[in-house]
Amino acid sequence: MSAGFLSRTGLGLGLLLGREPVKPDPDGMTTDARDMHAFKRTPQERARRKAEIMAERAAGVVSHRWRWRRWASIVGFNGLFVLSYWLDLQLVEGALTASRVLGFHFADLNSSLQLMLAHKHAVNDFVIGASTVFTLYLLAGGRTFCSWICPYHLLSELAEMLHLRLAERRLVKDHELDRRLRTVMFVVFAVLAFASGYTLFETISPVGILSRALVYGTVIALVWIAFLLLVEVFYSRRLWCRYLCPIGLTYGIVGTVAPVRIVHHLDSCLHEGKCREVCLVPHVLEMTKLGYAAEVNTPIGPDCTRCAMCIDACPTGALTLDVKGISRPPGTAE
């Protein structure tokens, strides 16, 4: 493994666990990256980039192609559970926390860990199901579950749209919390499960609550979902997903070296920051700031949800969805 790969992996895990991003030392950049940053600081190139940014803003064209794909994926995945249950097809059984699809067991990694800690032993079906999901996310990478499958993500995204509209009118203000809180909550819920013998997290997890409500029609717990959404609209944008939920943390760790990732291409970037504005986890896109990219082609780290909203927002194609070894552009580091 190259030093660059190990450095990126360590940096990505650090960001996932809550460390703040830092500007890289020029000595730690590749020669090509340093040369590109120097070129972008020349008066001629600055003028060109400014002109392109102004023209792009004047055009006002914004793509939502990837958003519609994600929403269709979320509705489709969760709809399979609902239809299978209500039509008694028995093709997809259970909910997102634990299910059986065409006879194959699937189990959420965090839910399986919580259950095993609470019961003090490994439940065979959960071990099998978790192993299947573990393998899938070794390939899919990042927090793909969050933006492509999780039903709460869709509701939270709609709440975020409302929050941003209210913020534009200065009716609300986003209160950022310490991102390390998510790591703390992961440990707290694990300790509570082990000490109490009860999976407390599953009681309050909006993922499980929504999945069970959709399939089985249990609606009382939706009061908690409504409360979370109100907090996200009026107090802290994407509170649950950014600062509290350990599910994304689990998947991010598993998918750290997955072949599917979003890649930033320094040579095409205008550095206007539209990608960071739409990103659920904007700290993973620090390399899009001028002078921050350590490589010409940089894979986004494991805290990335692969939502691809940054791809929609970027007017120059500086961010692309990549499969390592298949669609990697020339010059991308191993």
| 221 within a domain of the structure (yes/no) | yes
Q: Are residues 94 and 156 in the same domain?
A: yes
Q: Up-side HSE of residue 131: CA atoms within 13 Å toward CB?
A: 9
Give the list of residues 6+ apart from residue 190 with CB closer than 8 angstroms, or none.
113, 114, 117
Q: In the predicted model, what is the mean pLDDT of residues 85-110?
A: 87
pLDDT for res 286: 94
Average confidence score pLDDT of the chain: 89
Boundary (domain end) residue, out of 203, 234, 253: 253
Q: Are residues 247 and 197 in the same domain?
A: yes
Q: Are residues 81 and 216 in the same domain?
A: yes
Which structural domain range is residue 114 located in? 66-253
pLDDT for res 303: 92
Residue 231 in this model has a pLDDT that exceeds 90: yes
Under 8 Å between Cβ of 159 and 233: yes
Residue 180: alpha-carbon gap to chain centroid: 16
Instruction: Provide the domain count of the chain.
Output: 2
Residue 7 in this model has a pLDDT that exceeds 80: no
| 267 within a domain of the structure (yes/no) | yes
pLDDT tens digits for 251-298?
A: 888 888 888 899 999 999 999 899 999 998 999 999 999 999 999 999
Residue 333 in this model has a pLDDT that exceeds 60: no
Q: What are phi and psi of 101, to 5 degrees?
A: -115, 115
Q: Are residues 47 and 171 in the same domain?
A: no
Q: Are residues 154 and 239 in the same domain?
A: yes
Q: Highest mean pLDDT: which of 25-29, 31-35, 139-143?
A: 31-35
The share of the chain scoring above pLDDT 90, in percent, equals 56
- Would you place residue 3 in the very low, low, confident or very high pLDDT band (cuts 50, 70, 90)? low
- Would you place residue 102 in the very low, low, confident or very high pLDDT band (cuts 50, 70, 90)? confident
| 328 within a domain of the structure (yes/no) | no
Q: Are residues 96 and 242 in the same domain?
A: yes
8-state DSSP, 17: T
Q: Are residues 178 and 294 in the same domain?
A: no
Q: Are residues 82 and 57 in the same domain?
A: no
The one-letter code for the residue type at 210 is: L
Residue 186 in this model has a pLDDT that exceeds 70: yes
The C-alpha angle with vertex 151 and arms to 149 and 154, in degrees rounded to 5, equals 100
Q: Are residues 156 and 281 in the same domain?
A: no
Q: Are residues 76 and 57 in the same domain?
A: no
Between 217 and 237, name the one with better pLDDT.
Answer: 237
SS3 label, residue 264: strand
Q: Are residues 79 and 173 in the same domain?
A: yes
| 168 within a domain of the structure (yes/no) | yes
Boundary (domain end) residue, out of 221, 253, 285: 253
Q: Are residues 31 and 166 in the same domain?
A: no
| 137 within a domain of the structure (yes/no) | yes
Boundary (domain end) residue, out of 253, 286, 314: 253
pLDDT for res 332: 44
| 332 within a domain of the structure (yes/no) | no
pLDDT for res 330: 43
pLDDT for res 255: 82
| 123 within a domain of the structure (yes/no) | yes
- 152: alpha, beta or left? (left if phi > 0; alpha if psi -120 to 50): alpha
pLDDT for res 327: 65
Between 320 and 142, name the one with better pLDDT.
Answer: 320
| 303 within a domain of the structure (yes/no) | yes
